[in-house]
Chain A
Amino acid sequence: MTQALADRFRALRSTAPFWSMRVHEESREDLTVRQDTVEPPRLSLDRGAMLAAVTEGGYGYCATSDLSAAGLQAALDRASAWAEATRGRSVAGFDLAKMPAPRGEYSGPGTAQRPGRAALLELLAAECRGAKTDGRIVDRVAALSLIEEERQYFTSTGGELRQRFRYTLPHVRVTANEGMQTQARSLDHFQQGGFEQVERSGLVGSGARLADEALQLLAAPNCPSGTMDLLLMPDQMMLQIHESIGHPLELDRILGDERNYAGTSFVTPEMFGSYRYGSELLNVTYDPTVPGELASYAYDDDGTPAAKVFLIRDGVLVAPLGGMLSQLRAGLPGTANSRASGWNRPPIDRMANLNVEPGASSLAEMIASIRRGVLMRSNVSWSIDDARNKFQFGCEWGELIEDGRVKGVVKNPNYRGVSATFWRSLRMVGDRASFEVHGTLFCGKGEPNQGIHCGHAAPACLFAGVDVFGADA
């Protein structure tokens, strides 16, 4: 298919000075066992192309699932017409003298072959059965998504890229109820890779473990309320980084593109280079090179080569998350993060892999340093204002820490804060031993809307003086 597509692309013609074609093909299988019943397996094949044309001050796209020569030419004609129609009416334009011509191939990790479907279903069924430990367990789900993705990119300047990705994504969730109390625990392991990721995820044995934890939560006291230390484990750091560093640093938000939908940012262009985002312990990178992290790749969807970039160094804001066009518009440096969710959506600035670099403290040292605080893990609730400043997040699991010791489990742990000041209260950063790779599959943004995956890796981190609270008594 690759050579045929390349040949078809080379035969296309446009009046525009630059045009490109991005082809996505994704095959997927979703397997689920719920309440010991095998849900109908779902297979899918999603394949299509986006043709884009650039004129001086104009841009247009057209997406089609018709990959025949005629279908692609018709789509390019429509994209070219849009590029012409928007010439002189656009808020931003590419620099035609600097359009890329990238050439390369990339293949993400994932060598281990998957067992057959029957074996996979039995694996999931075992966890579902394993969670049936008590009459108060009211819902048990074990699922696995297997995805193979290929992205190809061709440009009229001679560019030709091919990138392949594999994702193996286990999910388990167990829910317990007693009276008006319902508590759930879940496992989500979102990384690139083959079947080896199932082993790394801790899927085996998770059904019984999560059931036990959900039952512990039913019996636990509510999370205390007050101003105290907050120890966030890496799976909640994932959400904290995503919402209160990632989105505010997206350059298209700063430039106003998202004002009607996803929102703006409290960050302004003049802050880069001097603004104290966090304490001196805070080091944040855009890093597409971490093996297995969800958004590790060699090129973004505009064909820009991807490399690690420090966004916050020693607490000071250094660079935004912005692709080729955003960098040109803002006159700022950026990252290779112009990404599209699929063949039918145009690339926009996304946060890709955004990580907090490891520090020097062990988890034991952090716990020992806490006079009164709460450890939280596994996000369950997220809400933040449109400028990505005032946030409130909740977790599935909490542990009360007093006088340097873990005292026990607490339920319904929540906290709230303000991004602009929260990261300055970072007082200890975990070392490499607590560093974990996580991510989300469901970052929503853009018009038309796009849901895309992002990776977030971090160690455990300790914050001082946070407004923590539980549920109403």
Chain B
Amino acid sequence: MKERFFELAAQLSRELRANEVLLCNLAGERSDFVRFNRARVRQAGSVEQRSFALRLVRDKRQASATVEIAGGADDFGLLRQSLGRLRDALEGLPEDPWLSYNETPRSTDSVRRGALPAAEDVVAQAIGAAEGHDLAGFYAAGTLCRGFANSLGQRNWHEVDSFNFDWSLHGGAGRAVKASYAGTNWAGTVLEQKIHSAAEQLALLEMPGRAIAPGEYRAYLAPRAMEELAGLLCWGGFSARSRATKQSPLLRMQAGQGLSPRITLLENTAQGVAPGFQADGFVKPSRVALIEGGRLGEALVSPRSAREFGLESNAANGGESPESLDLAAGTLEERNVLAELERGLYVSNLWYLNYSDRAAGRITGMTRFATFWVQGGRIAAPVGAMRFDDSVFRLLGENLLDLTREREMLLDPSTYEGRSSASARLPGALLSALRFTL
């Protein structure tokens, strides 16, 4: 795909007229998708897609077009037609005062080859490993690529072979354990071990359940639960635009309120799996400190926001949302979590979080999958889904006792529009209190 994309960008650049600049982006993937229910296949298929985005700039005006190309001889004609439509669109537009793109070419190339088995073989391995269990899940694998090219000669390419098998094992009474296996080099034995480990956890859920009344409880949020919490904060929490227009859920931090000094959160592009460049052609810094020692750090500033608000850009994407989150580790050893929790709720997963008062950083959401009542430092009983409603300033502030020393690297299994390249490296969190309401 790489050579073809760069060739099309070069061909289109040769079509440009005086004072025109062209920016091209490609988002492509060749994916195998297999959905499982009850340890059988529900739907299996393959998808090949190539979304080509052109942005034409002339006399401080710009317009963009996205075209799904076929990978054949007709692509250039289709893109050339779109270029003509963009030229027409520019005619009636005013100047764009927030226009910004990289005018200093900086090319990069990153190709990470993996070892992926034929998807049909994964089906056989997964069904075999899940025999006797009720497994529901989803396997997504293949090559993912992102490209940037402009008429100034810049070329950037990011390509990775990866897989993400995200599944859950289900027992009686709606009880379930969530697990995943993701990476670039598949090993069937690792899948077997992970399914076996999940089955052991599921056995703990077969104990008699315990109903918990609404109220405040000491709690431990495992890394996957923290992923949901961090994911919600990414919805406007670190965006320069949200900050400038007072729409951030961390508005109170802008006024000086802090979180626990244990909280240091980075956009760690160097350690993530997302591309190191963005749609305007800027190359991202290796790290941006979003929260440092509990204090608000840098915002993610897109080139457009930089122009609008008079800020310095740090090459954020247009959405100004982190893609490679990294929350610093604490001092709590994972093997001591139950002992330190002593009496309270062990929460493996959270679900469907939203702001119940965005400006105040108040969040509501549900527990999901394996949640346990812990007593005397031991798992005592599974607990059904419960709703919490609490403030981020309590959760990651006054009520945060410690974070685990060990962290998990979680690759985003999302596939809206296409397979995600986002990731998060997160510890678990021990809280003195979490407020449950329903």
Q: In the complex, which of the residues B44, B89, B168, B252 contacts A41, with contact meaning CB atoms closer than 8 Å?
A: B89
Q: In the complex, which of the residues A48, A117, A180 contacts B359, with contact meaning CB atoms closer than 8 Å?
A: A180
Q: Are B92 and A447 neighbours in the complex by a CB distance under 8 Å?
A: no
Q: Which of B69-121 contact A (CB under 8 A)?
A: 69-72, 74, 78, 82, 85-86, 89, 92-94, 96-99, 120
A37 to B309, CA, bound (A): 13
Q: Are B37 and A82 neighbours in the complex by a CB distance under 8 Å?
A: no
Q: Are B35 and A259 neighbours in the complex by a CB distance under 8 Å?
A: no
The reply to whether the CB of B218 lies closer than 8 angstroms to some CB of chain A is no
Q: Are B416 and A38 neighbours in the complex by a CB distance under 8 Å?
A: no
Residues of A near B40 (CB, < 8 A) are 89-91
Chain B 341-373, CB within 8 Å of chain A: the 1/0 string? 000000000011111111110101110100000
List A residues at the B interface (Cβ < 8 Å).
35, 37-48, 52, 59-68, 71, 78-79, 81-82, 85-86, 89-92, 116-118, 121, 138-139, 175, 177, 180-182, 184, 255-257, 259-261, 263-264, 344-346, 348, 380-387, 389-390, 392, 394, 412, 414, 416, 418, 444, 447-451, 471-472
A256 to B246, CA, bound (A): 42
Q: Are B70 and A65 neighbours in the complex by a CB distance under 8 Å?
A: yes
Q: Are A181 and B64 neighbours in the complex by a CB distance under 8 Å?
A: no
Flag the segment in B12-20, B134-142, B325-333, B396-404 that touches A. Answer: B134-142
Q: Are A89 and B245 neighbours in the complex by a CB distance under 8 Å?
A: no
Q: Are A91 and B251 neighbours in the complex by a CB distance under 8 Å?
A: no
**Contact A257 B136, CB 8 Å, known A41-B89, A65-B50, A385-B366:** yes
Q: Are B93 and A68 neighbours in the complex by a CB distance under 8 Å?
A: no
The reply to whether the CB of B375 lies closer than 8 angstroms to some CB of chain A is no
Q: What would 16 A/B residue contacts be, using CB atoms closer than 8 Å?
A: A45-B82, A47-B68, A61-B45, A65-B48, A68-B70, A91-B40, A175-B246, A180-B255, A263-B368, A348-B43, A381-B364, A383-B365, A384-B366, A387-B174, A392-B438, A472-B360
Q: Are B67 and A90 neighbours in the complex by a CB distance under 8 Å?
A: no
Nearest chain B CB to A84's CB is how many angstroms away? Answer: 9
Q: Are B389 and A392 neighbours in the complex by a CB distance under 8 Å?
A: yes
Q: Are A63 and B48 neighbours in the complex by a CB distance under 8 Å?
A: yes
Residues of A near B213 (CB, < 8 A) are none
Q: Are A257 and B85 neighbours in the complex by a CB distance under 8 Å?
A: no
Across the A-B interface, how many residue pairs have beta carbons closer than 8 Å?
249
Name the residue of chain B whose CB is nearest to the CB of A472: B360
Q: Are B136 and A260 neighbours in the complex by a CB distance under 8 Å?
A: yes
Q: Are B356 and A392 neighbours in the complex by a CB distance under 8 Å?
A: yes
Chain B 16-48, CB within 8 Å of chain A: the 1/0 string? 000000000000000101011110111111111
Q: Are A60 and B44 neighbours in the complex by a CB distance under 8 Å?
A: yes
Nearest chain A CB to B368's CB is how many angstroms away? Answer: 5
Q: Which 4 A-B pairs give the minimum distances between C-beta atoms?
A: A61-B45, A447-B138, A177-B246, A91-B40
Residues of B near A263 (CB, < 8 A) are 351, 368
Q: In the complex, which of the residues A45, A66, A68, A139 contacts B245, with contact meaning CB atoms closer than 8 Å?
A: A139
Q: In the complex, which of the residues B45, B50, B74, B359 contacts A62, with contact meaning CB atoms closer than 8 Å?
A: B45
Q: In the complex, which of the residues A39, A40, A85 contacts B44, with contact meaning CB atoms closer than 8 Å?
A: A85
Q: Are B89 and A63 neighbours in the complex by a CB distance under 8 Å?
A: no
**Contact A385 B364, CB 8 Å, known A41-B93, A91-B41, A344-B49:** no
**Contact A260 B42, CB 8 Å, known A37-B96, A447-B35:** no
Q: Are B35 and A175 neighbours in the complex by a CB distance under 8 Å?
A: no
Q: Are B44 and A59 neighbours in the complex by a CB distance under 8 Å?
A: yes
Residues of A near B245 (CB, < 8 A) are 138-139, 175, 177
Name the residue of chain B whose CB is nearest to the CB of A411: B357
The reply to whether the CB of B8 lies closer than 8 angstroms to some CB of chain A is no
A63 to B68, CA, bound (A): 12
Residues of A near B189 (CB, < 8 A) are none
The reply to whether the CB of B176 lies closer than 8 angstroms to some CB of chain A is yes
Q: Are B41 and A344 neighbours in the complex by a CB distance under 8 Å?
A: no
Q: Are B96 and A38 neighbours in the complex by a CB distance under 8 Å?
A: yes
Residues of B near A394 (CB, < 8 A) are 354-356
Q: Are A390 and B385 neighbours in the complex by a CB distance under 8 Å?
A: yes
Q: Are B356 and A414 neighbours in the complex by a CB distance under 8 Å?
A: yes
Chain B 135-179, CB within 8 Å of chain A: the 1/0 string? 011101000000000000000000000000011101000101010
Residues of B near A43 (CB, < 8 A) are 63-66, 82, 85-86, 89
Residues of B near A472 (CB, < 8 A) are 357, 360, 362, 391
The reply to whether the CB of B289 lies closer than 8 angstroms to some CB of chain A is no
Residues of B near A384 (CB, < 8 A) are 352, 366
Q: Are B47 and A66 neighbours in the complex by a CB distance under 8 Å?
A: no
Residues of B near A414 (CB, < 8 A) are 356
Residues of A near B50 (CB, < 8 A) are 65
Q: In the complex, which of the residues B44, B47, B62 contacts A344, with contact meaning CB atoms closer than 8 Å?
A: B47
A264 to B74, CA, bound (A): 45
Q: Are A71 and B42 neighbours in the complex by a CB distance under 8 Å?
A: no
Most buried by B among A40, A138, A184, A381: A40
The reply to whether the CB of B247 lies closer than 8 angstroms to some CB of chain A is yes
A96 to B416, CA, bound (A): 31
Q: Are A255 and B416 neighbours in the complex by a CB distance under 8 Å?
A: no
Residues of A near B368 (CB, < 8 A) are 263, 385-386
**Contact A260 B71, CB 8 Å, known A43-B66, A390-B385, A449-B416:** no
Q: Are A44 and B67 neighbours in the complex by a CB distance under 8 Å?
A: yes
**Contact A78 B46, CB 8 Å, known A89-B40, A414-B356, A451-B416:** yes
Q: In the complex, which of the residues B37, B99, B123, B364 contacts A257, with contact meaning CB atoms closer than 8 Å?
A: B37
**Contact A182 B246, CB 8 Å, known A62-B45, A63-B47, A385-B366:** yes
A356 to B124, CA, bound (A): 45
Q: In the complex, which of the residues B63, B69, B136 contacts A256, with contact meaning CB atoms closer than 8 Å?
A: B136
